[in-house]
Amino acid sequence: MNSILAAALNSSGVFPFKPFIDQCCAQNAVYARTYDEKIYDARDSPSKHLVIICCMDARIDLFRILGLQPGEVHIIQNGGGRLRDAVRSLVCSQALSHTKEVMIIHHTDCGFTYFSNNKQILASLRVRTGTRTEQLNPSQLSYDEDDPDFMPITDLEQSVRDDLAEYKKNPLLKQDIIVRGFTLWTVMALATIEQQYHTLSGNAKERSMIRQSQFTERLTNIEFIHLTDYDDYRLYKLIHKYGSTQAQTFTVNKWLEEYLQESFETPNRYYPNTVQWCSTTMLAFFIRNTTLSMKNINALLLARLEAYDNSKYICYISVLKEHRQNGLGTKLLNEIIKDAIQAKNSRISLHANTENKSALSLYLKCGMRCMAYIPGYYFGDQTYATQNAFTMTLQIKNIKNSTTVCHSTTAVEISSQEEALYKQQCPQAFTG
């Protein structure tokens, strides 16, 4: 047995804390009483014939991110979500459960990206207090005795590609099935998932389509993913890619600030560090046939995830003056609503100046309601005569038809009790 592991198992020190395991055991006693055989005793498990290889990172809740149910898939988790560590389990899964699909998922902000090589990892183990350096023999970890490999990740996209290539080379693994690689954007504890790399199966036409619809701007390291067309405009989802240099982050923030100053008509207001602060979901319209660049945005919506209640907060929505009243604002809201439904968010919220009539009428049209009145929220901002705000919110559970939201009054259904509550919490919104 690994001597470090044995030492840990044998240690009999007095713990200065109450082990969390005790709490787990207590929870399990509650769970066992409500155990539902119908859910867990599915005969044909995993019923979706999918295996997911993913990092062990504690923030990644695959069940919620991918909308999975117990019994549907095999999940193999390890540090980094690496294929090589997963092979033993994967071979058995494929032998026993008619695997038809494999997903390999690596993620941003992964602990394995904090080191650029094996030497650094070894050095950090050696300096850790309590490590017995003479027992540090990481060669057990490797397939190559002379070259211990902790598999650090220096390029996230490349590590996914490497694992796809390694899959293809491994004769133990099924080759006539769908194998796809993904990177997961671990922003503020939850994530959106973007397919980045192509499958081993699939035809050339499919591959070229994926390539065409994605483009990365070198100066900003922003990836543009084409979503849809709307009249003369093209709608893109923008992704702040992992591994941006300081210069790229500076440039994207500068161009976002310039856009926000122009669209909000606030040339002297600062909008600092926008991409770090609010980029879980970035949606932008560009005029067809212009150069795709963060310098050429015509309409923009930036939202971030509020992890405490799994909601989306819209930090900014704005359309350049000459492009307003063409339906772009509506379309952006419509799209973030779809995004929130897909991400299983609880609600969408934002703040608006109580005098911003066009924005407020847009939000009402999309089923948002005033939840709170905040006097002085926009202190120092002279855009409107008063600086008070409404907190507007849309409960996702109230959406009855996601395709007609913002277009039909029946798309969002708000109960009379809920309407009464809004009126009570926000009387200012109903007086003028």
Ligand X SMILES: CC(C)(COP(=O)(O)OP(=O)(O)OC[C@H]1O[C@@H](n2cnc3c(N)ncnc32)[C@H](O)[C@@H]1OP(=O)(O)O)[C@@H](O)C(=O)NCCC(=O)NCCS
Choice from 131, 137, 208, 361 touching ligand X (CB under 6 A): 361
Which residue type does 276 have?
Q
* Binding partner of 211, given Zn ion, ligand X, none, CB within 5-8 angstroms per partner class: none
- Is residue 281 within 8 A of residue 301, CB to CB? The reply is yes
Residue 49, annotated as binding a ligand: no
Cα distances (Å, whole numbers) of residue 403 to 2, 225, 387: 56, 21, 34
* Binding partner of 55, given Zn ion, ligand X, none, CB within 5-8 angstroms per partner class: Zn ion
Q: Which conformational region is residue 409 in: left (phi greater than 0), alpha (psi within -120 to 50 degrees), or beta?
A: alpha
Q: Does 396 bind ligand X (CB under 6 A)?
A: no
Closer by beta carbon to ligand X, 41 or else 231: 231
Q: Which secondary structure element, helix H or strand E, spans residue 424, and what is its range?
A: helix 416-425
The Cα–Cα gap between 194 and 185 comes to 8
Q: Does 79 bind ligand X (CB under 6 A)?
A: no
Report the nearest approach of ligand X to the CB of residue 328 (Å): 4
Which runs of E-coded beta strand occur in 64-151?
A: 73-78, 101-107
Closer by beta carbon to Zn ion, 110 or else 190: 110
* Binding partner of 156, given Zn ion, ligand X, none, CB within 5-8 angstroms per partner class: none
Return the residues of window 206-245 that contact ligand X according to CB under 6 A: none
Which runs of E-coded beta strand occur in 12-137?
A: 50-55, 73-78, 101-107
Q: Which secondary structure element, helix H or strand E, spans residue 111, and what is its range?
A: none
Closer by beta carbon to ligand X, 55 or else 366: 366
Q: Which secondary structure element, helix H or strand E, spans residue 96, and what is its range?
A: helix 83-97
Report the nearest approach of ligand X to the CB of residue 382 (Å): 14
Report the nearest approach of Zn ion to the CB of residue 172 (Å): 25
User: Which residue of this chain has its Cβ atom nearest to ligand X in the complex?
Assistant: 329
Choice from 93, 94, 251, 263 touching ligand X (CB under 6 A): 263
Report the nearest approach of ligand X to the CB of residue 295 (Å): 18
- Select the span of 168-176, 185-193, 203-211, 352-360 touching ligand X (CB under 6 A): 352-360
70 preceded by a cis bond (ω within 30 of 0): no
Choice from 197, 215, 250, 264 touching ligand X (CB under 6 A): 264
* Binding partner of 335, given Zn ion, ligand X, none, CB within 5-8 angstroms per partner class: none
Choice from 170, 293, 356, 428 touching ligand X (CB under 6 A): 356
* Binding partner of 174, given Zn ion, ligand X, none, CB within 5-8 angstroms per partner class: none
* Binding partner of 50, given ligand X, Zn ion, none, CB within 5-8 angstroms per partner class: none
Distance, CA of 203 to chain centre: 28
Q: Does 298 bind ligand X (CB under 6 A)?
A: no
Q: Does 334 bind ligand X (CB under 6 A)?
A: no
Residue 144, annotated as binding a ligand: no
132 Cβ contact partners less than 8 Å away, ≥ 6 residues apart:
4, 7
Q: Does 359 bind ligand X (CB under 6 A)?
A: yes
Q: Applying CB under 5 A, which residues contact Zn ion?
A: 55, 57, 110
Q: Which secondary structure element, helix H or strand E, spans residue 348, and what is its range?
A: strand 347-353
Residues in the chain: 432
Residue 360 CB neighbour total at 10 angstroms: 18
Residue 110, annotated as binding a ligand: yes
- Is residue 200 within 8 A of residue 167, CB to CB? The reply is yes
* Binding partner of 135, given ligand X, Zn ion, none, CB within 5-8 angstroms per partner class: none
Report the nearest approach of ligand X to the CB of residue 320 (Å): 7
Tell me the CA end-to-end span of the chain in Å, nearest whole number.
75
One symbol per residue from 302 to 331: x for binding ligand X (CB under 6 A), - otherwise; what is it?
A: ---------------xxx----xxxxxxx-
Closer by beta carbon to Zn ion, 53 or else 319: 53
Report the nearest approach of Zn ion to the CB of residue 303 (Å): 24
Side by side, which strands form the sheet with 347-353?
214-217, 222-230, 233-240, 281-287, 299-306, 311-319, 347-353, 389-395, 369-374
Residue 225 β-bridge partners: 214, 237
Q: Does 409 bind ligand X (CB under 6 A)?
A: no
Q: Does 393 bind ligand X (CB under 6 A)?
A: no
Report the nearest approach of ligand X to the CB of residue 349 (Å): 11
Q: 393: closest CA among 430, 346, 353, 427?
A: 346
Closer by beta carbon to Zn ion, 110 or else 336: 110
Report the nearest approach of ligand X to the CB of residue 418 (Å): 22
Q: 352: closest CA among 335, 367, 371, 339?
A: 371
C-alpha count within 13 angstroms, C-beta hemisphere, residue 93 = 24
Annotated binding-site members for Zn(2+): 55, 57, 107, 110
Using CB under 6 A, list all residues that contact ligand X.
263-264, 317-319, 324-330, 352, 356-359, 361-362, 365
